[in-house]
A and B are shown apart, each in its own frame.
Chain A
């Protein structure tokens, strides 16, 4: 039973709640600056084409157009989020590589003029044959998306741990299944937006970003500037989910346009341009082979994958490694082989989307595991409990797991969902499925090679203690980090949450933090914040010690009161002490820093998947299938998570709901579709179907009372962990309902209908 705290562990209301519910919160598109111009980017209509010529003269002559730029006007240094593969340019110069690739940009007095100007830019293309199918991208005779990359191989991975051949030879049952996943898109409701402006050689960019630091770093690098001369300010961000982790054409082109015109330039992507820019989920083909003993204990697994990287790398190298890295996390086995090809195609580039490479592999593994369970006549819940990872173990690929309550998650999900009862008393067309998931609590290594700490923070208590401001580079994108970090700061100081203020994610004011991705902030930024708060508290206790003439170690501070642990009635308010501190010593400051310990093995790719802690979760879902139409009704979902100490229960469950909602959409309803020329068929929200409030089933979300010894107050992640089990859970629930399996995502009504039809025809043929 965990300790009760004054501030953490309570569902305090969001610190940014009032601004958001009144419409006062300013997102980047809400910002206006004096003399501001509007910019838009011209993109390629072809999936693969050589650029013969670009004529901007007519556009430049249009009244209201203040600047037109192409590759000639911008740095030609290639950039990207993965240092191992910088392959993108601000504007294409020799050829365009997907429909939506960047060709030129304009800055105008107003937005309508931008559209007119774009129409006047004349680009001559020589259309080339395009690579549109990742399954055949490596075949002989396929065009090369990037001239330097043979067979369109962007990333190639071959990892082997333990004695795989021996384990397969000794296994009681070996089985292979192949699955294929689809392209999906983060689709945050707020589009990408940026406002750029220069002042005396210094660049300031307001952006809808998940990481001001990475933006700052890569923009400074691109323009050959000192980091100190590039200021990135995060405004309110309307969701990111991994898609807003890297600077886009809006920041790069915006900076150039702003420099040329000496005016602020605001640029955004509309919804169709969002889909084209993408950096969403990679489609993967996944072949899973396992060998199990006669009880269903997994002895060995081989994951043989291929993923569709699109035209550029983005964070894709990490995605490719993550696809295999986390597979041995929820179940214990020592022998593991992972082969992967991430290929280039002439389609929008894919990157990191919630769960980062892992949800589709989990779908494949969990579906496969249910097939194995069926082969052996074992209940799917039982086979998972048998294989569940235990705490203080190490995975075959060298990830050290401290706290782990995988088994308890499954057992609790089993009870909550009524699993046994529903398995015993079947209703026609109804099925129940289970799946597990796990995720990193922050990546063990940063995106680019650096020895900098991953997080830092400082706290300034004001002169009379009636407010304390937390300065953190951590990024609030909706997940609640501003609130949770203020709770942690207050708890560490012994202060009250209600008096906390926060200034976050402005690189000129707040200290380095890598930002919101890989579910790192509660743990990593939180550790830095906790240390900063403890430093403040120590100074408070020292000052109070003098004021009360009591030894400092007899004192403690909680809920804004400094008190003696041994003597009743001896106390002071935090305010009184803080004020005295300022009078005698000046500003009361505390700082903290976090660097993860050296983690992981030494094999190629070992860093990806390392983390100081891992979350674990089990999800059960019940569905009802309409046998005549294949329509899937979701009757209920139960999620049980092991995510360590819960800092804010309501915000945490909100994250589970949201992660599960995204996973659910990707399971059945969402897919980015292309025509045979590489154009997106559904770059809009009528045919890219995110679920509405009427589509969501009842969800029961529970959290176990667990403790991660390395985390601040025992916390670890939850934001991405609840997406990972969902696809597999649906696959298994539908399998249970129908008796046949759909081996590709999304599990559409039509695919379900067709699988049932084929089953009926097979059965009729067998009978007749």
Chain B
């Protein structure tokens, strides 16, 4: 695929690229140094992908590139030309939440929510290739998504539950919530 290149009067080059985002072919004009996270957020208005560190250390900018989780802050937009990208906006289908999303709400795996989009995508990639992971496998799958709020406890619980088709905890899952004092 040959990129159409446009050079402006100051000699700055811009390239026409097509990103396949959540199933739609989106054509944008970008400079060579444009970052995928910024193009998704600013050009395509998909602000669900977050920026937490911009250096690939926190995972809040995670998107699925050809089905694999990557930090979109560390990918040049033009490198993703012609490739399939799934952002958090592409997870729920026609307003029907994915099992992981539903479980994360019901298991209280969401607090401030900033790591949540990246977390959901990493979990989704895991369950797509490994529908019945063990707990260590879940922890490893989300090990590139830093969360400051939850300690990951409910997140791991939610992903495991989603993999088992359980979208919410039972009625009495916290046996000592109201009892147990001595």
Binding site for B on A (CB under 8 A): 1-2, 4, 9, 11, 13-14, 16-27, 29-30, 186-191, 236-239, 241, 270-271, 405, 408, 411-412, 477-480, 646, 648-651, 653-654, 657-658, 660-662, 684-686, 690, 692-694, 696, 699, 702-706
Contacts and interface: CB of A to CB of B under 8 A. Distances in A.
A409 to B, nearest CB: 9
B152 A17 contact: no
Contact of B181 (A651, A662, A705): A705
Contact of B148 (A189, A702, A704): A189
B154 interface: yes
A22 B88 contact: yes
A20 B116 contact: yes
Given A654-B154, A684-B57, A693-B143, A703 B110 contact: no
B105 A650 contact: no
B147 interface: yes
Nearest to B108: A650
Interface of B, secondary structure class, is loop
12 contacts: A22-B48, A187-B148, A188-B112, A188-B114, A188-B148, A271-B55, A650-B154, A657-B153, A658-B111, A685-B53, A693-B142, A705-B178
Contacts of A703: 176-177
B110 A189 contact: no
B58 interface: yes
A22 B92 contact: yes
Q: Would you list the 5 A-B pairs with minimal beta carbon distance, nearest first? A: A23-B48, A478-B112, A238-B114, A20-B113, A661-B151
A480 B145 CA distance: 21
B140 interface: yes
A502 B116 CA distance: 22
Contacts of B46: 23
Given A189-B148, A658-B151, A693-B145, A23 B178 contact: no
B181 A649 contact: no
Nearest to A686: B57
Given A22-B88, A699-B153, A705-B180, 4 more contacts: A11-B174, A21-B120, A23-B89, A694-B136
Interface string B49-82: 1111111011010000000000000000000000
Contacts of B174: 11, 649-650, 653
Contacts of B116: 20-21
A18 B146 CA distance: 20
Contacts of B92: 22
B88 A657 contact: no
Contacts of A686: 55, 57
Contacts, number: 203
B90 to A, nearest CB: 9
A30 B91 contact: no
A1 B181 CA distance: 9
Contacts of B111: 239, 478-480, 654, 658
B149 A684 contact: no
Nearest to B152: A693
A189 B58 contact: yes
Contacts of B18: none
Contacts of A190: 50, 52, 112, 114
Contact of A408 (B41, B145, B181): B181
Given A14-B110, A25-B113, A412 B181 contact: yes
Contacts of B49: 23
B50 A27 contact: yes
Contacts of A239: 111-112, 114, 148-149
Contacts of B177: 9, 646, 649, 703
A658 B149 contact: yes
A77 B111 CA distance: 37
Contacts of B55: 271, 684-686
B137 to A, nearest CB: 11
Contacts of A16: 113
A19 B101 CA distance: 10
B112 A477 contact: yes
A486 to B, nearest CB: 15
B104 interface: yes
Nearest to A407: B182
B36 interface: no
A739 B143 CA distance: 33
Given A30-B41, A646-B177, A658-B151, A189 B105 contact: no
Given A412-B180, A704-B181, A26 B148 contact: no
Contacts of A22: 48, 88-89, 91-92, 97, 101
A654 B108 contact: yes
B112 A706 contact: no
Nearest to A637: B151
Given A479-B111, A657-B154, A686-B57, A21 B97 contact: yes
Q: Which of B109, B138, B150 has most chain A Cβ within 10 Å?
A: B150
Nearest to A477: B112
B155 interface: yes
Given A22-B92, A706-B181, A662 B148 contact: yes
Contacts of A661: 148, 150-152
Nearest to A4: B178
